[in-house]
Structure 1
Amino acid sequence: MKKYLFILFAFIIAAGCSNNDSSSNSSTSASVKTTVLMYIVGTDYEVPENAKVFFQNSYNAGIKQDALGYGPANYMIKGMIENINHENTNIIIQTSSKENNMKWTDSEISAAGADPEKFYIKDWSQAARWQIKNTGIEKIQDLGNVCINQGDTNCINIASGDTIGDFLTYGIQNYQADRYIVIFFSHAGGTIVGFGSGATLPEMQKAFNKAKTATNKEFDIIGFAACLMGTAEWMHYLSDYGKYYVASEESEFEFPWLLGDITKAIAQNKTTEQLLETITSTYYQYSARNGSVSTNISAVDLKQVKALGSALDRLSNKIAEDYVSNPAKTFNNLYVAFSRANSYGKGQVGLYDL
């Protein structure tokens, strides 16, 4: 998938505005209450039999052997349970899936090599909300059946901005904190395809706008543990709703973010900047051990994205003017520029392809 050259500009702007003051790189002196909201759309990776295959790939790349049979979502939940500090952390999860056959018995889980008592999400066909405890995971709300086909009624549309916005609003209002982090985990396809089971850019913007209108809060970190979501378009659409945006331009691993390490950093009262470093460095350390996918992840200052958008508007206007006077030359210049841009997500369709 060809990416616009301006993607690079966003990262350069963000890097240029980093603060080298040592005070920003130390733990906070007072305890900071953090609420982490995680929106998980279950995928084929969660199937116990598939997880056995994914486990071997991940184990070769450094994931511990206790990942056997769990699938990435349950393994990440396991890591959060083992590292949460309830004095300064709330972790609220909403789970669901549109995949078929996403429900397993204890015997099927055991056959895959996992412990049924620690295989926390066994039925993805029902949308539900959960709270992470250091003793396990507690279901706090059943939301009902997930809509599978377009036109289905009396079910939860998990790609809807209203559904996602309700979750964000619920988490902020019921688990008030000094700092809010939201993480989206599933398959994804970037600007064109969107997140999870079809959550498009406009729907996701609708979700964040709904939450901000209801709570007057913004997120300190908006993160996508999902493929191809590190695009300027997504950053632009969500720039009014958060301080930092973390995602990869490239395809990600089955275990994209090491949530156990990230939860431990929150428990240690790390600053937001240190959390960003933990997210990106652990992702790099893990993915660098597996050469099949590039180690591409960025933490972007969303306050700089507005300036990027203004620059792109000026560039677009200039291109339009040049095209009127000399269309052949203008098209050729654009083609040369795009052909030199980096390519991400083999087999994916991007704006360049359109």
Structure 2
Amino acid sequence: MEEYMLSYITCKQINTVKLKGKNNFMSFLSTIFMGKRKSKYTLLIYMVGSDLESEYQEASMNIKDLMKIGSSRHVNVILETGGAKKWELDLISSERNQRWIVQKNNLKLIQDDEKRNMDTNEALSDFLIWGINQYPAEQYILILWGHGLGSVDGYGGDELYGNKAITLFTLQAALKEAFDETKQKFNIISFDACSMAGIETAYSIRHYADYLVASVDYTNRNGLDYKTIIESLQQVPTLSAKELGEVMVNSYRMYSKENGEKEDLQKGVIDLSKIDYIVEIVDSLGEKLLEDIEEHSKFNVIIEARNYSEEYGEEADMVDLADLVSHLDNRLNYKKEANAICKAIEEAVIYNMKTPEHPKGKGISIYFPKHDENRFKEKSLIYQQNEFSLHYREFIKLYSEKLIKGENRNENMYQGT
């Protein structure tokens, strides 16, 4: 990557900076010579329209919400659209990827690109680098809009390129590339998508954001309450990332209820600085599970513990991490790991909104296969790509192999409640 040395004179002194990459260099020149000022917040929304837009117009509904408030001198609201076969809003093209600044009652086109797969690290990282450089701010929020498929299949679903989605491995690569280019972390990364509050997701983004705002389970069709989020930033420009996370969660709950969705609500705020420690304990858990799974009787008990844990979405095959280790402790004496994980999760999840349908959920889930039998092998291979606990990944590999071989056929135990 090219390096540029630039010296410039202010009224008090000569300043010299070293910049990597042409994008950073050109952005810095723009800031110096064109007087580009820093806003308080830049909100970057990566909107993979998918069939959520082409079939249900959900993306267009959220864009209309964004336009109710729009950008201001304190807040930049920046949007990339793509990945849908058709859009309800006529000005958005299904043949191109487009970048917009959202204004009050208006969507202003900033950049019109050729069509490209939004389920790639290249497309995502390019948007992030461009957005950070073009709209400097004191704090940055990234919202990833689209399908959420949990810790294996990831997020996205560009229907123009086969709905492949962005795996966590690919997401991490995109965030790393953007950070290496800009040296800018996000204050919040939020998924306006289902099932992305997994420990694996949190671990994959921990170096690139302070907080994760996401749901362990399904996200309602109305999505985030963008009007309230932007309105809060406009009214209180000094709002901290933690406070904004709570606004995002609470307004989602109220917005869902206004749209007739009163049940099965969950969303939380996770402090990513606490994630490394949780994964250390999960690795110890994985090591112990690897030992116990070799005994057939204990293998059956592990299956039972999984099946009685609070679970989220048959397709995603995610369970509540705290509830899982509690069931393992009740059956196999995992007290040390259970106590440590539950305490660490309590410290990491600083806000956990949930309705009574999630009585045991503590706000962080983990992959543990059960339902998607036809894809056990495929999902295990994808899961091994994650930068996550080695011992837990090895356990998932062995556990999946045993399920495929049918080493357990106790139907009552397999069903759970």
TM above 0.5, one fold? yes
**Using the alignment, how far apart are the partners of 1:274 and 1:349 within structure 2?**
31
Which of 235, 255, 270 is matched with 1:286 structurally? 255
Indicate how the Cα distance of structure 1 residues 135 and 295 shifts in structure 2: closer, same or farther if over 3 A, else same.
closer
Structure 1 equivalent of residue 285 of structure 2: 315
User: In 2, Cα distance between the equivalents of 1:262 and 1:311?
Assistant: 35
Q: Give the length in aligned residue pairs.
A: 275
Cα RMSD, aligned residues only:
2.1
1:84–1:267 contact (8 Å) kept in structure 2: no
Q: Does 1:205 align with 2:133?
A: no
The residue number in structure 2 matching 1:168 is 128
C-alpha separation in 1, matches of 2:90 and 2:130: 22
Deviation at 1:218, TM superposition (A): 0.6
The structure whose residues are more often strand, as a share, is 2
Q: Report the counterpart of residue 14 of structure 1 in structure 2.
A: none
Structure 2 runs not aligned, ≥5 long: 1-37, 158-164, 319-367, 371-375, 377-417
Q: 1:219: how far off? A: 0.5
Structure 1, residues 309-351: CA drift from partner, whole Å, max 9, x if none? 1001111122223445xx1243133223212211212454453
Asked if the contact 1:224/1:247 (under 8 Å) is kept, the reply is yes
Q: Distance in 2 between matches of 1:130 and 1:323?
A: 52
Deviation at 1:103, TM superposition (A): 5.0
Q: Which amino acid aligns with 2:243?
A: Q
Corresponding residue for 2:197?
230
2:138 to 166, 178, 181: 178
**Shift in Å, 1:140:** 1.0
Structure 1 residues 85 and 131: CA distance shift in structure 2, 3 A: closer
**Equivalent residue letter for 1:43:** S
1:258 aligns with 2:258: no
Q: Is the 8 A contact 2:311 2:317 kept in 1?
A: no
Larger RCO of the pair (alpha carbons < 8 Å, separation 6+) = 1
Instruction: Tell me whether 1:90 sits opposite 2:76 in the alignment.
Output: yes
Judge conservation of contact 2:222–2:255 (CA < 8 Å) in 1.
Answer: no
Deviations 1:121-161 (A, max 9, x none): 5323311111112251111111112xxxxxxxxxx121111
1:129 maps to which residue? 99
TM-score normalized by structure 1?
A: 0.72
User: Could you tell me which of 21, 44, 48 is aligned with 1:37?
Assistant: 44
Show the 5 A alignment for 1:323-338.
323=293, 327-338=295-306
After TM superposition, give the deviation of residue 288 of structure 1 in Å: 4.1
Structure-2 separation of matches of 1:349 and 1:332 = 18
C-alpha distance in 1 between matches for 2:91 and 2:314: 31
Deviation, structure 1 residue 120: 6.2
SS in 1 for 2:266: coil
Shift of 1:221: 0.4
1:352 aligns with 2:369: yes
Partner SS state of residue 172, structure 1: helix
Moved more, 299-308 or 282-291: 282-291
* Cα distance change, pair 292–44 in 1 and its aligned pair in 2 (3 A): farther
2:3 alignment counterpart: none
What secondary structure does 2:156 align onto?
A: coil
**Counterpart amino acid of 2:67?**
I
Q: Confirm or deny: 8 A CA contact 1:81 1:134 kept in the other structure.
A: yes
> Quick one: structure 1 residues 42 and 121, their matched pair in 2 at CA, closer, same or farther if it must change by over 3 Å?
farther
Pick closer, same or farther for the CA change 1:227–1:255 going to 2, 3 Å: same
